[in-house]
Amino acid sequence: MKPATRATILKTLRTLHGWLGVIIMPWVLIAGFTGFYLNHKQAVLSVIEPAPYDEAQFDTWPDPQEGTLTQALKLAAQNWTDERVSTIEEKPYHNRPAIIVTKPSGQIIVSKPTGHYYIKTTFRRKTFAPDGTELDSKIYWGSIFGWLHARGWLGTRFGTWLMDITSLALIAFALSGMFLWWMPRAKKFARLVRRKA
């Protein structure tokens, strides 16, 4: 290979390698952090999660109101106006009788004994008193980190494209880095062989 051709290839590879590193850095950090979380869930959650809200307070609430299907449907309509109800169930939630209305974007869960309710989505659950006062907000870090690790994004719009692109870019990054490391050494090795010949 001519020296000029080799120099052009090395320059092109250095440029490609540098830009790939800059472009994929955010997703490499996401993949690294979320991968660490998947291996050490409790350690990460112990740092970022606050103490859980004590739902035993429901039992001593000063003005309990019986939770009803009408209340659950009204809340679902207010939160996700243009969506149809997928399912309606009556079953315990956190060991309390509840009415659960599910729509594509989330669930409304109403505690039947007291009228407390939850608005639950893929990434968050909010707890409310019967009068609508917000009592607690819980982030589902496991869901967030799982989605980020698989998709590189917190929505379904791009599917897994971003992480697929990052994976392919990482392969190109590794190969170009390996080639950049080997080229000068190959040149030295070739000179050494020629001397001994």
The rounded distance, in Å, linking the Cα atoms of 94 and 111 is 9
Q: What local confidence, expressed as pLDDT, does residue 82 receive? A: 93
The rounded distance, in Å, linking the Cα atoms of 103 and 76 is 8
Residue type, 65: Q
Q: Give just the sign of the alpha carbon dihedral 185, 187, 189, 191.
A: negative
Q: What local confidence, expressed as pLDDT, does residue 51 receive? A: 85
Q: What local confidence, expressed as pLDDT, does residue 1 receive? A: 59
CA proximity to 69, closest of 111, 118, 38, 30 = 111
DSSP class per residue in 37-52: HHHSHHHHHHHHPPPP
Q: What local confidence, expressed as pLDDT, does residue 157 receive? A: 63
Within the chain, residue ranges assigned H as helices are 3-39, 41-48, 69-79, 141-151, 161-196
Three-state DSSP class for residue 86: coil
Decide: residue 196, CB within 10 A, 0-12 exposed, 13-18 middle, 19+ buried. Answer: exposed
Q: What local confidence, expressed as pLDDT, does residue 106 receive? A: 96
Backbone angles phi, psi at 181, to 5 degrees: -70, -40
CA proximity to 79, closest of 53, 110, 50 = 110
Q: What local confidence, expressed as pLDDT, does residue 128 receive? A: 97
The rounded distance, in Å, linking the Cα atoms of 193 and 197 is 6
* Long-range pairs, 10-16, Cβ under 8 A, ≥24: 10/180, 10/183, 13/176, 13/179, 13/180, 14/180, 16/172, 16/176
Domains of the chain: 3-44+146-196 (no CATH), 64-130 (3.10.450)
Mean pLDDT by 10 residues, the chain (197 residues): 70 78 77 83 85 90 92 96 96 96 97 96 95 94 82 64 73 79 74 70
